[in-house]
Amino acid sequence: MSEEIVTDSDCIHHWMIGRPNGPTSMGTCKICGLEQEFKNSIQGSGWDRDGGRRRAAAAAAQRNKAKAGG
């Protein structure tokens, strides 16, 4: 009988994140040596802010319209 070598063990990966490579960083497990790509945190998600502002503007415009139409 031969025992199978299981590479995918119950390793609690200890990731060592390397230098950022574009939008992602390569991480290597200190324990088992597994490599995995990590997404870098994206700074300045402007769309959310812009969306909120636009929404406020639309609400204001609607208010003005209602006043004018009154």
The contact set with Zn ion (CB under 5 A) reads 11, 13, 29, 31-32, 34
Write down the least CB distance from residue 16 to Zn ion, Å.
10
In DSSP terms, 29 is beta-bridged to 15
Kindly tell me which of 3 and 10 has the beta carbon lying closer to Zn ion: 10
Kindly tell me which of 3 and 8 has the beta carbon lying closer to Zn ion: 8
Kindly tell me which of 9 and 21 has the beta carbon lying closer to Zn ion: 9
